[in-house]
Amino acid sequence: MITVASILRRSVLAVAGVAIFTLATAWVVSKEKPKKKQLPNIVIIMADDLGYGDFSCQGATKVSTPAIDALAESGMRFTDAHTASSLCSPSRYSILTGRYSWRTRLRTGVLTWFAQPLIEQGRTTIASMLKRNGYRTACIGKWHLGFEWALKPNAPADPVKDVFDSWERTTQDYIDFSKPVKQGPVERGFDYYYGISASNNMIPFVYIENDHVVEPPTVQKEYVYDTDQPCLRAPNWNLETIDQELTKKAVSVIDDHFKQYRDKPLFLYFPTSAIHRPALPTFTKGKSRAGLRGDKIEEFDWVVDQIVKTLKKNNAFDNTLLIVTSDNGGVPGDAFDAIQKYHKDLGDKYYLDYFSDYKPEYIKPGKNGKDTGGWLTYGHKASGEFRGFKADAWEGGHRVPLIMHWPGEIKAGAVNNNTVCNTDLLATFAELVGDKLAPNEGEDSYSYLGNILGTSSKQVRRSMTIVSGGGGAYVVNHGDWTYIESGKAAWGQTFYKGGPFPKDFQLYNIKTDPGEKHNLYNKMPDKVAEFKAIIERVEHKGKTEDKEG
Give me the phi and psi of 475, to 5 degrees please.
-130, 120
Write down the CATH superfamily of domain 45-405+447-540: Alkaline Phosphatase, subunit A (3.40.720.10)
pLDDT at 496: 85
Which parts of the chain have pLDDT scores under 70? 1-36, 369, 489-493, 549
C-alpha–C-alpha distance, residues 125 and 119, integer Å: 9
pLDDT at 369: 67
pLDDT at 499: 82
Residue 233: CB atoms within 10 Å: 22
Paired strand residues for 268: 43, 138
Tally of CA atoms within 13 A in the half-sphere of 134 that contains its CB: 13
Tally of CA atoms within 13 A in the half-sphere of 167 that contains its CB: 4
For the whole model, what pTM was predicted? Answer: 0.93
pLDDT at 547: 81
Helices within 32-158 (DSSP H only)? 66-73, 88-97, 126-131
C-alpha–C-alpha distance, residues 505 and 473, integer Å: 9
pLDDT at 28: 42
pLDDT at 367: 72
DSSP string, 29-68: HHHSPPPPPPPPEEEEEEESS--TT-SGGGT-SSS--HHH
Q: Which are the contacts of 275, defined by CB distance < 8 A and separation ≥ 6?
A: 47, 48, 49, 50, 54, 293, 296, 297, 299, 300, 330
Domains of the chain by residue range: 45-405+447-540
pLDDT at 495: 82
How far the first Cα of the chain sits from its last, in Å, is 95
Q: Based on DSSP, count helices (H) and strands (E) in the chain, helices before strands.
A: 12, 16
Nearest residue to 186 via CA among 247, 236, 245, 125: 125
Confirm if 351 and 410 have CB atoms less than 8 A apart: no
pLDDT at 396: 97
With 0-12 / 13-18 / 19 or more C-beta atoms within 10 angstroms meaning exposed / middle / buried, residue 489 is: exposed
pLDDT at 286: 98
What's the Cα-to-Cα distance from 529 to each of 195, 505, 534, rounded to whole Å?
A: 45, 13, 9
